[in-house]
Structure 1
């Protein structure tokens, strides 16, 4: 099946999609050596740098692998499942176990590293969570996650921040789906407020041990409620 020339913009994404279709469609079976960059560039109507970036993206998806001096070979017929997809499929209990590992340590680090700017952000986030208590479920979940995100941000560790960002969509979906927030707020309008206030206070006070303990208690209690 010949490769048609691409339309302008965005060329790398188009090239990646076209080459992926050739692989997943069986035109280039596993083990096949792909045509050289020059050939692919000519068939796609793009520059070699565009082809190179597309091949890099395919390698990241586990579809191809470059062999020194031999070329680029197809290594899989389907792209490897990404981290966001795995999180969406994971059981909420499994996600929360990892979340606790991440956020408890983040809270400890935040207590030792928070700045005045972080303190202001934490206070605003706590106030936002309280204000969202009478709103719709998604608004309350978003406010809750925003507070936890502010704690993670105060740890000033970009890797932790990135990990939390990856977790956030799966957490939001699970919380909205599994937790009857409306019923909880009718019974207890300040649901979880004391625990969140304790977490924020510990971080602001610079109490490392208390911050870690508060984060752990909050997440354990939330998990218990989710799994009832």
Structure 2
């Protein structure tokens, strides 16, 4: 099979694209073992190191997989969808259900592990949320998310912190829409202040069960709004 010699630089990108095209076009169906590095290098007119880097790029995209002692095999014809893209495409109710699981556990851990600095950060975020009530809906939602992020950060688990950070952009867009469409701040410019204050207090005093319960109730209320026909 002739792939055609490549033009000079950037060779790795060109090699990766050529191999990806062959896979996408069905030249190497799923389950097929690719030719060895030497054969690919000769066909493409590049060095083995370039082929090796191209195969690593394809593996990172979820298209091929190296099997010890057997070679490199095609495992998919389309690149794997990255996590942020998957979140953007997901139904907001599904995202919110996962958020509830993540945050309620984070609240329990926060109550166990919070430091004085964490408590100060949560109190400051609560005050910022109250001050943002005088502003527009976007500013209020941003302040609300920042408070929740402070609680998650207090759990002392960087994986939880990063996971919440991935949810935040999707949550922000949909929560702004929800607040505006449902007029949730028409009567009360600072909805949920008491429950958020109770959450911070529970974390501060080390009561994980109470912190999780308060947060669960608050998030369930929001999820109920998200289940309306407009969302």
What's the TM-score bracket when you normalise by the shorter of the two chains? 0.7 to 0.9
Instruction: Compute the displacement of 1:150 (Å).
Output: 0.9
- Confirm or deny: 8 A CA contact 1:118 1:150 kept in the other structure: yes
Q: Is the 8 A contact 2:106 2:155 kept in 1?
A: yes
Q: Structure 1 pair 15/169, CA: closer, same or farther in 2 (3 Å)? A: farther
SS at match of 1:134: coil
Question: How far apart are 1:189 and its partner, in Å?
Answer: 0.7
**Contact preservation (8 Å) 1:61, 1:79:** yes
**Partners of 2:115 and 2:224 in 1: how far apart?**
33
Contact 1:112 1:206 in 2 (8 A): yes
Structure 1 residue 17: deviation in Å?
Answer: 4.9
C-alpha displacement of 1:187: 1.8
- Is 1:122 paired with 2:122? yes
Could you give the per-residue CA deviations for residues 73-125 of structure 1, whole angstroms, max 9, x where no partner exists? 22221123333333223222222222111111110110111111111211222
Say whether the 8 Å CA contact 2:111–2:211 is kept in structure 1. Answer: yes
In 2, are the aligned partners of 1:28 and 1:74 still within 8 Å (CA)? Answer: yes
- Give the aligned partner of residue 4 of structure 2: 2
CA 1:135/1:58 → structure 2, altered by over 3 Å: closer, same or farther? farther
Change (3 A) 1:2 1:179: farther
Partner in structure 2 of residue 144 of structure 1: 144
State how 1:165-180 maps to structure 2 within 5 Å. 165-180=165-180
Task: Return the offset for 1:13.
Answer: 6.5
1:5-44 matched pairs, under 5 angstroms = 5=7, 7=9, 16-17=16-17, 19-38=19-38, 43=44
**Runs of 5+ consecutive residues of structure 1 not aligned to the other structure:** none
TM-score, reference length from structure 2: 0.81
Per the TM alignment, residue 165 of structure 1 is displaced from its structure 2 partner at its CA by 2.2
1:10-46 per-residue CA deviation (whole Å, 9 max, x = no partner) reads x866765554344224454434433434565674757
- Aligned pair count? 225
Name structure 2 gaps, 5 residues minimum.
none
Asked if structure 2 preserves the Cα contact closer than 8 Å seen for 1:66 and 1:73, the reply is yes
Cα distance change, pair 116–169 in 1 and its aligned pair in 2 (3 A): same
Larger radius of gyration: 2
* Native 8 Å contact 1:15 1:44 kept in 2: no
> What residue is the counterpart of 2:102 in the other structure?
102
- 1:161 is aligned to 161
Q: For residues 184 and 61 of structure 1, do their structure 2 counterparts lie closer, same or farther at Cα, with a shift above 3 Å needed?
A: same
Number of the residue aligned with 2:75 = 75
Classify the secondary structure of the residue corresponding to 2:65.
strand
